[in-house]
Chains A and B, each alone.
Chain A
Amino acid sequence: KQEVTQIPAALSVPEGENLVLNCSFTDSAIYNLQWFRQDPGKGLTSLLLIQSSQREQTSGRLNASLDKSSGRSTLYIAASQPGDSATYLCAVDDGSGNTGKLIFGQGTTLQVKP
């Protein structure tokens, strides 16, 4: 059974710091991995999608890496800003059935202090 774990559960940093969020999964047979951002009480906003054949994806100040063999992904945020404060969720698509389903970690809640 696929399990996804995110460490740390919460993180507080001063503005301008570079930071890394970690995601680990127990079964390397994944279809892809997606990082999401969630503001309090809101839906999920997709940040980056990494296909199983890829090693990393970049979007602006965000860079996500994927190491299937070790069951790990990291989300790197450069030059953090107060607007980055949110909960970050990683999810793996297990590729089951015709279209798979997402299995989520519990998230890392990030606070960036001005």
Chain B
Amino acid sequence: GVTQSPTHLIKTRGQQVTLRCSSQSGHNTVSWYQQALGQGPQFIFQYYREEENGRGNFPPRFSGLQFPNDSSELNVNALELDDSALYLCASSFTGTDGYTFGSGTRLTVV
């Protein structure tokens, strides 16, 4: 499956954070989503074969990397209070078989 770390994180406004994801073996696409309380997940960006393959309506301070070993990370700089959310990682084999999601990282910015 898809595993994410850490499960919970508390950061101070202005700090930087790195969230990590291990994709399902064989999946070459990883996507990141932000889910605010009571809302559906919002697409942040997607990586396909280690290159960014699409970005949602998020500022450049949200960035990511995908590595050859099925791992990836989401970096957020200059944290704002509104960045408090559940961050979800999802992987897929080119999207044809749907997406498998991880359990998420709950980020709280104070």
A residues neighboring B (CB under 8 Å): 4, 31-32, 34, 36, 41-46, 49, 89, 91, 93, 95-107
Contact = CB atoms under 8 A, between A and B. Distances in A.
Given A98-B94, A99-B94, A46 B104 contact: no
Interface residues of B, number: 30
B31 interface: yes
A68 B3 CA distance: 33
Instruction: Specify the main secondary structure of chain B where it touches its partner.
Output: strand
A43 B40 contact: no
B90 A102 contact: yes
Given A36-B101, A43-B88, A102 B106 contact: no
B54 A101 contact: yes
25 contacts: A4-B40, A32-B95, A36-B101, A41-B86, A42-B104, A43-B101, A43-B102, A43-B103, A44-B90, A45-B101, A46-B98, A49-B98, A89-B40, A89-B41, A97-B46, A97-B48, A98-B94, A99-B48, A99-B94, A101-B43, A101-B46, A101-B56, A102-B33, A102-B99, A107-B40
The 5 closest A-B pairs by CB, nearest first: A104-B40, A43-B103, A49-B98, A44-B101, A99-B95
Interface string B1-44: 00010000000000000000000000001010100001111110
Contact of B92 (A4, A45, A99, A107): A99
